[in-house]
Every structure is written in C-alpha cells, then in structure tokens.
Structure 1
Amino acid sequence: MKKIRQFANKKVLVLGLARSGEAAARLLAELGAIVTVNDGKAFAENPAAQSLLEEGIKVICGSHPLDLLDENFELLVKNPGIRYDNPMVVRALEKGIPVITEVELAYLVSEAAIIGITGSNGKTTTTTMIADILNAGGKKGILAGNIGFPASEVVRTAKSDDLLVMELSSFQLMGTKAFHPHIALITNLLPTHIDYHGTFADYAAAKWNIQKHMGPSDFLILNFNQDLAKEHAEKTQATVVPFSTKGKVDGAYLENGMLYFKGEAVMPADAVGVPGSHNLENALAAIAAAKLSGIANSAIEQSLSRFRGVKHRLQFLGDVNNVKFYNDSKSTNILATQKALSGFDNSRVILIAGGLDRGNEFDELVPDIEGLKKMILVGESAPRLKRAADKAGVSCLDAEDIRAAVKLAFAAAEPGDLILLSPANASWDMYQNFEVRGDEFIAAFNALKETSHG
C-alpha cells in the first residue's frame, strides 16, 4: 500500500457503514486522517460502529444530524447506496466538501494495477471469470469492489505485481475523482437504476466515469453488440478493444463456433462452462482482459471450461436422477430471464418464476417461454405470469414458496430435463433478497439429492 500523506491530520466524515464504510474508516485512520463515522443504525445494534469506537475512531449513530457538517470536514466518503439527494450529501456539497466513494480511496493507495468492470448485466460473472483466468495463468487476480472484499480493505495487502479485479457499480463510479484503471470493461448499458439516477443518460454517464482518466496506454473493453458502445468508443482517450458475438471485430469475437482474439483462435465456444448467449459475451469480455494481461490461451480455456457460474447467477447446481438444476435467482427482471432461457432447449425446461408484483405484465416474455415443458409460479406476480403462460400455451402450477416449487417441478420432470429458477421478479414479497431466495432453492436441491441417494 502506498503511504500517501494527503489525508494526514485532515478531518474526514465517513457516511454510512456496511463493509465498505468500515473498511474506508480503517484505511483513513491508518493514513493519519481524523475520522468521524456517521451511521443510521443505533449504536447498540451496530457491531461495526462498536468495533471502530474501540479502535479510537469517533462514531455517531442512530441519525444523520446536519449540524455535524459544521465541524469543518475536508472530505466526505459516502456509502455508494446513499443517494446524492440525501440531505447530508446535499449539505456537504453546498459547503464545498468533496464527496467520494471508497473505491477512490483504494485507487489512491493501490500498488496493484486495476482491472475495473462495470455495466448493467454480467458484471459479477465477468469479474469472476477474469479473476479465475488470471489465477489459472499464474498471476494473482484479487476480487474487490462489489464482490469479494471492499476495495479499500484489499489494497492494504495487495502487492505491485498483483491485479485488482474490481466490480464497480454506477453508484461507486459517481464518487470518483482520479480513479484510473489500466484496463476498464463495460459489459453493456441498459436502462436500470433509473429510480436512483433519474434518467438513462445520467446512469450511462455515471458508468462512463470509469474511463475518465484513462489514456492511450490504457485499454477500454466495449461491447460492440451495442450501437451505444460504438458511439461511446469515439469519446475516449483510451485504446478501445471491442468484443462481439455478432461480427468480427478488432478484439474478441465469435466466428464459426470459435472464440477469437485479434485473429487468433482461443477456444471453442461450446467449451465455455455456462450456457447462454449472454455468457458468450461475458467470456469474450473476459478473454479480452486476459489477453491484454498476458495470459496464455491454454489457461483461458482451462478456466472458462471449468467455470460453473457465480452463485445465484445461472449457477449450475448439479443433477438428481439426470434432472439438472440451475439457480438464477439474480434474474430479477424480464430481460435477465430472457437471457437465461436463451441457453436452453425450452422443451426440456421447467421454469420456476414469480415474485414481487410491480404492476407490469409479462407479454414481452411470451416468445421466450413458448414451448416450455411447464412453469411453476410463486409470489405476488403469479397471476400476471399465468396470463403470459396462457398466451404462450404453457401449462402452470402454483406453489406457496420456492421449496414447494422445487418439489412440484421435480415431480413433473423426466430424465434429461432441467429445472431453472429464473424468477423475472424481485424477491421482496417473500424473501429478504435474491440471495435468500436462491439459498432456499439450493437447500431444496440438496434435500432432493440426499433423498435420491438414500
């Protein structure tokens, strides 16, 4: 870690804890800053705040008092989930206090080069693929950011020959001032998080911050399946490396069943260990990052052929009596479920779907679910999904929860079929988050496996 002095004896406010805030507070304290932490959760219920107080860091919990900002802070480090229209953030900006997120801190002290990955879909899968390939190829790729550990924690021990592979959200990238990855990757840009950003243009601009300080010696990997990416390619100082499943590009591409990089065959497309056209995009993006990092084709193929997905993201669990199970609980919208279904033969698929009712119909899903063997519906949105299933000519069963849905699906399955949890809905009507929902699916699969082996 670089022992920078720019925060020494400076008053810094860390707004919001969670893992990233806790890591930022500790890093700032180590760099000599005079740190105050402000978190909304009451102190008695806040182990992170209690731990920081024991280490001599000032903590104010239970509310966000605006007059706290009268204490002459020179910097505010905010949790990325806290919006810019939050009264504390608004007041700080009015007072001329710079506002950053903890990935900016991590960049400032990192000895390791950074590969930064952002986008609307596929970030976690692509980030994990890249780290796996780097490690298979003899380099140390360290997961950080939205997956793994907070970036400002990881950088404290990362060495100069390591590579930080950082998944970055639009929320994190809005809070960067000098952040400069050597390789940056945007998987795709789709309308999402508009409730936070206000407009798609503002959301895309936040993502585009990833390349703001990059130059010709840096590499920006873009998805040339999207016209928007081609337009953005004209607006960067970085060297653009495209990837595409739809045509030959001067980067990574799919041609005649092979994945190529700049004219060199890397591996067969059907050797990638996870299904779906979107995962070929993710694999091509990962190949570009790996080749730019000097990784051999043999290590790339070895890693991608063994890759079985990230938990809750089209994760292959295994099979019971030759019925395969895929956990795609992270598919909380229609597009994600469409992408999941694209990798399979519908006639062998039993789809478990449903969740929070946001008032939308599912007509755009109809072409994608045509020919499904069966659908098992859960949650508030089940009646709306039933209407789509009727239009597609697919028979449905209702289940009270995911465990019950798995039992119904397995009873309807025959050898060679697969059961796919890809809900097309958020989980909050029944489960705390998509992870809890996916964990219940995994538990139900494990119970079936145990019974079948009994």
Structure 2
Amino acid sequence: MKQITDFKNKKVLVLGLARSGEAAARLLASLGAIVTVNDGKPFNENPSAQALLEEGIKVVCGSHPIELLDENFEVMVKNPGIRYDNPMVARALEKGIPVWTEVELAYLISEAQIVAITGSNGKTTTTTMIAEVFNHGGKSALLSGNIGFPASEVAVTATAKDTLIMELSSFQLMGINNFHPHIALITNLMPTHIDYHGDFDAYVEAKWNMQNRMTEEDFVVLNFNQDLAKELAQKTQAIVVPFSTTEKVDGAYLYDETLYYKNEAIMLAAEIGVPGSHNVENALATIAVAKLSGISNQVIKEALVSFGGVKHRLQYVGEIQGVKFYNDSKSTNILATQKALSGFDNAKTILIAGGLDRGNEFDELVPDIEGLKLMVVLGESAPRVKRAAQKAGVRTLDAKDIADATRIAFEQAQAGEFVLLSPANASWDMYKNFEVRGDEFIASFEELTLNNSR
C-alpha cells in the first residue's frame, strides 16, 4: 500500500457502512484522516459502528442529521447504493464537497496495477474468469470491488507484484475522480438501473467514467457486437481492443466455432467450461485481457476449459439420476435469462422462473422459451410469466417457492434433461436477495439427492 499523506489531518465523512464503508473508514483513519461515520442503523443494532467507535473513530448512528455537514468536511465517501438525490449527498455537493466511493480510495493507495471490469451483464463471471486465467498463469490476481471484496480493503495488502481484478458497478463509477486502471473492460451495455440514473444516457456516462483518466498507454476492451461500443471507441485516448461473436475484429473473436485473438486460434467455443452464448462473449473478453497481460494461449485455454462458473450465475449444481441442475438465480432480468437459455436444448429443459412483479410483461422472452419441455412458475410475476408461456405454447406448473419448484421440476424430468433456475425476475417478493434464492435451490437439490440416491 502506498503511504500517501493526502488525508492527514483532513476531515472526512463516511456515509453508510456495510463492508465498503467500514473498510473505507478504517483505511482513512490509518492514513491520518479525522473520520466521522454516519449510518442510519441505530448504534445498539450496529456492530460495525460499535467496532469502529472502539477503534477511536467517531460514529453518528440512527439518523442522517443534515447539520453534520457544517463540520467542514473535505471529502465525503458514500456507500454506492446511496443515491445522489439523498439529502446528505445533495447538500455535500451544494457545499462543493467531493463525493467519492471507496473505489477512489483503493486507486489512490494501490501499488498494484488495476484491471477494471464493468457492464450490464456478465461482470461477475468475466471478472472471475480473468482472475482464474491470471492465477493459472502464475500472475497473482486479487478479486475486489462489486464482487464482494471491498476494493479499499484488498488494496491495503496488494503489492506491485499483484493485479487488482476489480468488478465495478455504475454506482461505484459515479464516485471516482483520479481512478485510472491500466485495462478497462465493458462487457455490454443494456438499459438497467434506470430508476437510479434517470435515463440510459446517464447510465452509460457513469460506466464510461472508468476510462476518463486513461491514456494511449492503456487499453479499453469493448464488445463490438454493440453499435454503442463502436461509438464509444471513438471517445477514448486509450487503445481500443474489441471482441465480437459476429465479426472478425482486431482483437478477440469467434469464427467457425473457434475463439481467436488476432488470427491466433485459442480454443473451440465448445470447450469453455460453462454453457451459453453469453459465456462465449465472456471468454472472448477474458482472452483479450489475458493476451494484453502477456498470458500464453495454452494457459488461457486450460483455465477456460476448467472454469466452473460463478455461484448463482449458471452454476452447475449437480446431477440426480441423469438430470442436471443449473443455478442461475442471478438472472434477475429478461436479458439474463435469454442468455442462459441460449446454452440449452429447450426440448430437454425445464425452466423455473418468476419473482418480483415490476409491472412488465415477458413478451420478449417468448421466442427464447418456445419448445421448452416445461416451465415451473412462482412468485408475484407468475401470471405475467404464464401469459408469455402460453404465447410460446409451453406448459406451466405452479410452485409456492423455490424448494417446491425444484421438487416439481425433478419429478417432471427424465435422464438426459436439465432443470434450470433462471427466474428473469428479482427475488424480493419472497427472498432477501438472489443469493438466498439460489441457496434454497442448492439445498433443495441436495435434499433430492439424499432422497433419490441409489
């Protein structure tokens, strides 16, 4: 970690705790800052705040008093999920106080080079793929950022021999200033989080912030399946390295079922360890980053062949009596489920779908679900999902929860078929988050395994 003096004796407000806020507060205190933490959760129910207070950090809990901002803070570091129309954030901006996320802190102290990954879909899988390729090739890769390891916490122990493989959300990227990765990757850009950003243009602008400080010595890897990416390619000083499944490009591409990098054949698409056309895109993006980092074709192939996926993202759970189970609970929108289905034979697939009702219909999904053996439907959105199934000519059965849906799907399946949880909906009508939903699917599979062992 770089021993910087930028924050010595400067007053900094950390707004919102969770893991990233706690990490930021500790880091800032270690750098000599005068830190105040403000979190909405009451102090007696807030173990993180209690721990920070014991370490000598000032905490204000239970509310967000606007007058706190009269204390002449020089920087606010906010939790990425807190919106910019939040009264505390809006007031800070009015007062000219810079508002950052902890990603900026990570960059300022990091001795390690940074590979930054963002996008609408595929971020976590691609981030994990890249890290596994790096580590397989003997390069020390440290996962950080939106993937569950606060960037400012990981950067503390990273050395110049490491590479920070950093997954970043649009929320995090709105709060950067000097942040400067050596390689930046955007997997794809689709309309999402519009409730936070206001419109798609603002969302794209947040993602594109990632390359603001990059120079002609850096690289931006872009998905040339999208015309938007080709437009963005004209707006950066960095060297653009494209990837595509639809055309030969001066980067990574799919041709004749083979993955190439600049005319070098790397591997067959069918050899990737996880199914789906979206994972071909993820693999191509990974290949581009790996080649830019000096990793050999053989190492790349070996790592991608053995790649087993990410928990809750087309995760292979196991097999019971010839029926294979896949957990894609992280598919919380239609596009993600469309991509998941692209890797399966519909006639042999039972899809479990449904969840939070956001008021949208599922007509876009109709072409992708045609020919499915069965859909098991649950949650608030079940009536809308069933309407799409009816248009596609697919039979449906109702389930009360994920455990019930898993049991029903298995009872209807035969050897050689697949049970795929890919809900196309958020989980919040029945579950705290998609992880809890996916964990119930895994637990249900394990129970079925015990009950049906031969």
TM-score range, shorter chain: over 0.9
Deviation at 1:451, TM superposition (A): 2.0
What residue number does 1:377 align with?
A: 377
CA apart distance, 1:382:
1.1
Q: Deviations over 1:268-288 (max 9, x none)?
A: 111001111111000000111
Match of 1:243 in 2: 243
**Amino acid in the other structure paired with 1:280:** V
Post-superposition shift, 1:306? 1.1
Letter in 2 for 1:107: Y
- Mapping for residues 71-86 of structure 1, pairs under 5 Å: 71-86=71-86
Q: Which amino acid aligns with 2:424?
A: A
Mapped to 2, the partners of 1:333 and 1:127 lie a distance apart of 20
CA distance in 2, matches of 1:172, 1:387: 37
User: Which residue of 2 is the match for residue 358 of structure 1?
Assistant: 358
Q: Secondary structure at the match of 2:156?
A: coil
The number of aligned residues is: 454
Match in the other structure for 2:4:
4
- 1:218 aligns with 218
The equivalent of 1:93 in structure 2 is 93
1:252 aligns with 2:281: no
Deviation at 1:256, TM superposition (A): 1.0
In 2, Cα distance between equivalents of 1:366 and 1:90: 43
Give 4+ residue runs of structure 1 displaced > 4 Å after superposition.
none
TM-score (norm 2): 0.99
- Equivalent position of 1:289 in the other structure: 289
In the aligned structure 2, how far is the partner of 1:344 from the partner of 1:66? 53
2:412 corresponds to: 412
Rounded Cα–Cα distance in structure 1 between residues aligned with 2:92 and 2:359: 37
**Structure 2 counterpart of 1:146, which letter?**
N
SS in 1 for 2:14: strand
1:438 is matched with which residue? 438
Quote the offset at 1:151 in angstroms. Answer: 0.6
Tell me how far 1:453 sits from its aligned partner. 2.2
CA drift of 1:368 comes to 0.8
Aligned partner of 1:133 in structure 2 is 133
Q: C-alpha displacement at 1:121, in angstroms?
A: 0.5
State the shift of 1:148 in Å. Answer: 3.9
Q: Which residue of 1 aligns with 2:336?
A: 336
Matched, 1:150 2:150: yes
Q: Distance in 1 between matches of 2:233 and 2:341?
A: 30
- Mapped to 2, the partners of 1:356 and 1:171 lie a distance apart of 22
Cα deviation, 1:93-117, whole Å, max 9, x if unaligned, reads 1111111110000000000000000
Mapped partners of 1:358, 1:118: distance in 2? 25
Indicate the larger mover: 258-267 or 52-61: 258-267
Report the residue type matching 1:439 in the other structure.
D
Q: Deviations over 1:119-143 (max 9, x none)?
A: 1110000000000000000000000
CA distance in 2, matches of 1:294, 1:23: 32
Tell me which residue corresponds to 1:60: 60
Residues in 2 aligned to 1:102 and 1:289: alpha-carbon distance in whole angstroms = 24
Instruction: Give the root-mean-square deviation of aligned CA atoms.
Output: 0.8
Amino acid in structure 2 at the alignment position of 1:292: L
Give the structure 1 partner of residue 390 of structure 2.
390
- Aligned positions of 1:271-290 closer than 5 A: 271-290=271-290
Structure 1 range deviating more: 112-121 or 140-149 = 140-149
Following the alignment from structure 1 to structure 2, what is the Cα–Cα distance between the partners of residues 35 and 355? 41
Separation in structure 2 between the aligned mates of residue 189 and residue 20 of structure 1, nearest angstrom: 25
CA distance in 2, matches of 1:445, 1:379: 20
Q: Distance in 1 between matches of 2:75 and 2:382?
A: 48
Alignment of 1:143-222 (within 5 A): 143-222=143-222
Matched residue SS, 2:107: helix
SS of alignment partner, residue 12 of structure 1? strand
State the alpha-carbon separation in 1 of the partners of residues 389 and 149 from structure 2: 41
State the shift of 1:52 in Å. Answer: 0.4
**Structure-2 separation of matches of 1:72 and 1:390:** 61
Please give the secondary structure, in 1, of the residue aligned with 2:242: strand
CA apart distance, 1:452: 2.3
Q: Where do residues 300-315 of structure 1 align in structure 2 (5 Å cutoff)? A: 300-315=300-315
Shift of 1:439: 0.5
Q: What does residue 25 of structure 2 align with?
A: 25
Unaligned stretches of 5+ in structure 1?
A: none
2:421 counterpart letter in structure 1: L
Question: Hey, what's the Cα distance between the residues in 1 that align with 2:85 and 2:388?
Answer: 38
Letter of the 1:12 partner, please give it.
V
Q: TM-score, structure 1 length as denominator?
A: 0.99
Higher mean C-alpha displacement, 215-224 vs 352-361: 352-361
Query: The residue matched to 1:426 in structure 2 has which SS?
Result: coil
Distance 2:190 2:92 in 1: 31
What does residue 35 of structure 1 align with? 35
